[in-house]
Each structure stands twice: as structure tokens, then as C-alpha cells.
Structure 1
Amino acid sequence: MTIVSTAPRVFMSYSHDDDEHRDWVLQLASRLRGNGVDVCLDRWDVTLGGNLAHFMERAADGIYRVIAVVSETYSRKCNDRSGGAGVEAQMLSARLYNELDTDAVIPIIRNNPNNPPELPAFLSGRLWQDFRDTATQEPAYERLLRDIHGVAVDAAPPIGPNPFEGRTEIQARLAIRDSPGRWHSPAFQGDVEFVFSQNSGRYKLGSGTSQFTLWIDAYGHDAVRAYRDPAGIANVAVIHRVRERTELLADVSQFETSSRTAIPHCGDALILHNGDGFWALLYIDKVYRREALNRESVVEFRYEIQPNRTPDFSGFAFPDSGGS
């Protein structure tokens, strides 16, 4: 009995810029195969004396998605229709023209120093993934792998009810004001000003499996107390004076996580670990009170969620103005 593979199929389209570039593509293709992707690569699938033109025709085959490794040389050859990249570009252009809304070709950027990068004409307007910076290649790789396997990186939240339906004007106004989306930052990183005297001190970060529910209350005049009680939060911890100890950000799992609470002051970092294995780091910039209709308790922080589930935040970008 013939066993048919259900692994997604990917064709690697790239230019042979130099040995280092060829080896980088080989490493990427090998890693993808190790993560459940059936990769078609010339170094594996074309033998001496084999038909190279026949191999390149696979770029037009609908059973494959195509990863286009867009270097400066690749863009030039595609536009000039020269070399193997030019042949593949011609076939891919026809494929994209016939299926205008397709995501059949995934451009990834490598050896392409321009900002924005120079893409071949046939890929103009297509969303690309940046693989130029070694510091961000891990999250870039996970995003690529998730896309190939059809596992969303940023999960769309469910559609809520119409706040105006079946409500009075005042009820609708209250429903809008108290909507959970008001206290939610779905991105992997950002700057937040949270009035934690609202919404019972709860604020959501991230989305899907990478979501965290931050639950805090006041602790003195320049600190907050964070809890691991919300569903999905496995651990909380604190790094004191984190700007002076940035070498410790390479592995934040080393900090004490056995307590129910963690108390970061201004200038400290709060570590969150959720039940799906994701890690988040929050730098506490300011904690203060301000007068409004009622006295408000406010915390300002910068946060980052590590999308590849590692506890490595060595590249964390601190805000320009640190806490006291």
C-alpha cells in the first residue's frame, strides 16, 4: 500500500549568489523538513545529468507553495529573466497572474540591504518575511513555519455582540466603555498605559496561545503587585534593576517563579509565563496616581512576547526614558 504524505509541499526558489548563501538556503530547507515540511530543493532533487528545466517547472505546479529567497541578485535575475531564477520567475508570474488572490509564493528577504527591500517586479505588493537580522531570525522562522502549516500567529478574536442591539443609549455607552477590547494589546510588543484601577486590574497581552492576562494592583507608591491567578498564567517573576543586569535577559526562566505574586518597582521587569509555553517580559517605566473623576492608578510599561517560546529576551528594547 502506498502511503501518501500529508506534509505541506514547498519549492525553494533562490539564486546561487555564493557558497555562504547556498548553504544558508540549505540549512533553512533542512530545518523546514525537520519541522514537517516536504521541501523540494535543487541540491537534493537534481542529480548529475538530470533535467534542470524539468525540475524548475515544479515552481508552476499548484501542489507546491514557493519560498522565494529574495536577495539583490535574485531580484535582478528575476527582472532580467536570466539564469534559473529568471526561468522560475517567468513561470511564477504566470501562476500569480492566473490566481491574483493566491498566497502561493512567500517572499523571504536575505542579502538585500535596501529599506524597503528590492523585490522582483512579479512579487511587488506581496507580504514578505525578513530574515536579514540574525537577532530576529528565530521569530521570523516560526512565523514562516506557522504560515506553511496554516497555524495562525495572530489569532483573530471572536466577533462580539452588537453593543447597540436591544440596549438603551446609556446601556450601549456603558457596554462600549467596558468592552474587554479596551484593555487588550494583541501585538507581540508595544508600549502600554494601563489605568489598573479599571477592569479589576486585568489587562490582556498577545493573542491566541501567546496571550497573557496581566492582573495587578497597587503596592506602595512606585510598585505594582502581579498575580499568577488568571487562567493560563503558569508563573510570574521579577528582575530587579533590570537595566543594570541585561546579561540576565538571555534566560529569564532562571528567576524565582514559585510565588503566587511578584512585585516589580519602577525600573524592574516583570516576567510572565503562560500555560502554552510562551514568555513575556514587561519593563515597568512608571507607576503613579492621577486625578480624574475618581483617583486613577496608572502603570506605564513596555512589553515583549517571545514568539518562539524561548525565555531569551537579550534583544529587549528598553524605552528611551527609564523609571526611577
Structure 2
Amino acid sequence: MHSGRGFARTRFRNHCRPSSASPDQSYRNRGRITKQGSALLSCAMPFREHPPVFVSYTHDSEYHCRRVEDFASFLAGKGIEPIIDVWANVRRKDWYAWMLTGLEVSSHVIVIASEGYRRMGDGTGPADRNRGGQWEAALLRDFLQGDRPGWTAKILPVILPGQHIDGIPRFLQPYAADHYVVTEFTEAGAEQLLRAITEQPGHVPPPLGQRPHLPPRSGPGAQPELR
């Protein structure tokens, strides 16, 4: 395993535990609220100062690969640890095992939209090209089938400059689910993606106030005038 720009060695997984907090309180704790039977569960990713993200893309062209590497360098400069093949290509390795481990240990999986990824992701591309991309897309489809809520939140489709929403494969729901447009490799140009990865919401709801007491306007206890 490449020890320079590889991926974090400690595995982190979602942990679901019964929560005594209200849904509003759990939201403010950045937990994800789900229902399991009658029990309210709070599923929160452990906080990581430098979250590892797996970068999944297809080798459409040399230019596209360079742009993806530039994007990964931008993420690294913002304290996010990219898990990307070009920085792990030092020692001979089992790339399937590398890929599977990277997908599991990452806090998020970034899928780079492109024509090649859409074709491989949806199974319409040639079987003898982008075999690594085919494996990654197949694994992501399988993970989604096994845990759709968890992996829908974990997979972040990203549209780099010059790409289009049509480069997102159908199984990632380009129109029905969120995607992230990066207009330039700056904080402003990638703000929504950076907020998603680092779990820093742009808008935080205020604390809930007291419920108002509204007596009836007619009948027993009526108080016609409300001030």
C-alpha cells in the first residue's frame, strides 16, 4: 500500500444508536434521522479533521485525467484527503482490493461526471475499455442496492468545468437527487461540495420557540380578542 497519498488506515463506518434527542436536536448534531420499527435512530459519521474521499472517474482522455488530478490537488489543499489511483500507482497491487477498501473507508465517494463514466456506469460502454471504472460503478450500484439511504448520502456526483449533468449515470439519479457543480477550483467555485464533505451547512435553522397558547374565539373559555 502506498504510504504517501493512500487512504486513512483506520476504518470508519456509520454507527446507528438509539437517540434520546429530538429530531431537531439530532439535526443540529449533524446526525441523520431514520426510522427502524418504532425506534428513532441517529446515524452520524464520526468527525474527521481530514476526511478521506474516494475519487471515482473514467480515463476518457489525457486532458480529462489531468483535470481530475488538478481537482484532487485542490481538495488536498483544503484539508480533504483524496483516494485516487494516480497517487497510489507506485507498488504492484491488487487494484480491486485497493478499490474496495478505498470505497469502504472513505467518508464520501466523489463520482466525476463524464460521457465515459455515464456509459460505463449504465452498462452501455464497450466491455474492453475503462475496466476499472466498470468495477467501481458496479460496486457502487451494489452498495446502493444494499443500503440506499446510506450510500445515496455518501456518493457525491460532481460536475467539473466543461462537463455536464448528462455525464452522471442514471443509477445516481442526476435529476432526482443532488449533484455538485464545480465552476472553478476555488472555495467559491466548489462551496456546496466542500460543505457536503466537511459537514458545514450553509444555513442553520434557529432554535425552536415556545408553542403559542391560542384560546377559542367562541364557546367555553372564549377570548375574542387576541393580542
Structure 2-normalised TM-score? 0.62
Change (3 A) 1:159 1:54: same
| Mapped pair 1:93 → 2:141 | yes
Partner secondary structure for residue 139 of structure 1: coil
Select the residue among 181, 184, 194 that pairs with 1:130.
Answer: 181
Gap runs ≥5 in structure 1: 175-324
1:62 deviation in Å? 4.7
Q: Partner of 2:63 in structure 1?
A: 20
Alignment of 1:182-221 (within 5 A): none
Q: Partner of 2:156 in structure 1?
A: 106
- Matches of 1:119 and 1:17, distance apart in 2: 14
- Matches of 1:104 and 1:94, distance apart in 2: 14
Query: How far does the alpha carbon of each residue in 1:172-198 deviate from its partner, in whole angstroms, 9 at most, with x for none?
Result: xx7xxxxxxxxxxxxxxxxxxxxxxxx
Q: Partner of 1:159 in structure 2?
A: 208
Change (3 A) 1:11 1:98: same
Q: Is the 8 A contact 2:181 2:190 kept in 1?
A: no
Gap runs ≥5 in structure 2: 1-8, 11-47, 217-222
- Matches of 2:211 and 2:88, distance apart in 1: 55
1:13 deviation in Å? 0.3
Structure 1-normalised TM-score? 0.45
The residue type paired with residue 55 of structure 1 is W
Change (3 A) 1:33 1:137: closer
1:122 deviation in Å? 2.1
Q: Partner of 2:21 in structure 1?
A: none
Change (3 A) 1:60 1:138: closer
| Higher relative strand content | 1
Change (3 A) 1:46 1:149: same
Q: Is the 8 A contact 2:111 2:157 kept in 1?
A: yes
Q: Is the 8 A contact 2:112 2:158 kept in 1?
A: yes
- Matches of 1:22 and 1:158, distance apart in 2: 46
Query: How far does the alpha carbon of each residue in 1:16-57 deviate from its partner, in whole angstroms, 9 at most, with x for none?
Result: 122222122112211212211121111111225333222222
1:128 deviation in Å? 0.2
Partner secondary structure for residue 117 of structure 1: helix
- Matches of 1:169 and 1:60, distance apart in 2: 63
Instruction: Pick 1 or 2: higher relative contact order, CA cutoff 8 A, min separation 6.
Output: 2
Select the residue among 70, 79, 85 that pairs with 2:122.
Answer: 79
Percent of pairs identical after alignment?
Answer: 26
